[in-house]
Homo-oligomer: A and B are copies of this chain.
Amino acid sequence: MAILGIDLGGTKLAVGVFSEDGKILSKEIIPLGSRAGKDVGFLITNAISKHFKISSIESIGVSVPGISRIKTGTVWAPNIQGWEDYPLMQEIKQVAENIPVIIDSDRACYILGEHWQGAAKQINDAIFLAVGTGIGAGILINGTVLRGAHDIAGAIGWMALDRPFKNKYIGCGCFEYHASGEGITKMAREILNEQKNYSGELKNIEPAKLTSANIFSAYEKNDPVATQVLQQCIEFWGMSVANLVSLFNPEKIIFGGGVFGPAVQFIDAIKTEAAKWAQPISITQVSLVPSALGGDAGIYGAGFLALQNKNHQQSGHV
């Protein structure tokens, strides 16, 4: 008796097998490589079929990097080519037959994973701020994920924080433009472009090839550009945390995604910045912590959804 939690990312597929009490029994990571469209769907159904042969799987949950359209069973995943409206539920149902399947967005899965087995255990009002290539938020209110009227709540990368509006925010949003993984490299490029006499750590990296990892590593060596970029990120992360605190009055904000990661060292500085802006009582009631599950938050959340869905269907609420 086991539960399958599957996390589809922009670059890899992670498959976890869980016991019903939330212990991870096995985990496998499969790089997507150059796969697109139906080949990504096949990778998922193939992984499911394979696990059917080795375990007694009772329920399946899938986390997707985009929007899961519950009514149609299709998925919009902007970073996977050909996944504008991909019929993932239908394809999985063909291999899963009568086993319950549920598909949800990665940000919903991250906060549910942390709620089940991570930093938000026993906490009903918590937010997962996922800062990777892009930025999204999984928001738990009274134990339930905030979905909005049309399932796209939590699009925090679009948060307006720096007036006036600039055309460069089109396509990603103001917050994401400045403080996502991609934002970090954009900001560094903008600053390097202006500094003709710069001779620091980033000098020998071709601007188009800069990564956020380069910036964090240059920061460790006190590089002035990396320091300026990350100080600005701390300001944006602090303002966004302040806005979440003032609006939601949560107990915990959990930082995850590839950038947190190395940016975990800044959590105290982010709280200091947030405290300037936020509702002054609410900011004393929240704790800011790193993800306890790290890169596994998605499979845990998918596993938790699968477990809930199985129990729900067994109790007759189909």
Contacts and interface: CB of A to CB of B under 8 A. Distances in A.
Contacts of A125: 148-149
Contact of A158 (B147, B248, B278): B278
A141 interface: yes
Contacts of A162: 162-163
A173 interface: yes
A42 interface: no
Nearest to A235: B163
B155 A246 contact: yes
Interface in A36-64: none
- Classify chain A: how many residues form its interface, as a range: 35 or more
Interface string A146-160: 111111111111111
Interface centre among A144, A152, A161, A277 (most CB of B within 10 A): A277
Interface string A170-182: 0001100000000
B150 A249 contact: yes
Nearest to A166: B276
Interface in A271-316: 273, 276-279, 281-282, 285
B277 A160 contact: yes
Contacts of A139: 247
Interface centre among A174, A240, A246, A279 (most CB of B within 10 A): A246
Q: Which 6 A-B pairs have the closest CB atoms?
A: A148-B249, A155-B279, A160-B239, A160-B277, A158-B246, A125-B149
Interface of A: 124-125, 137, 139, 141-142, 144, 146-165, 169, 173-174, 235-236, 239-240, 242-243, 246-251, 273, 276-279, 281-282, 285
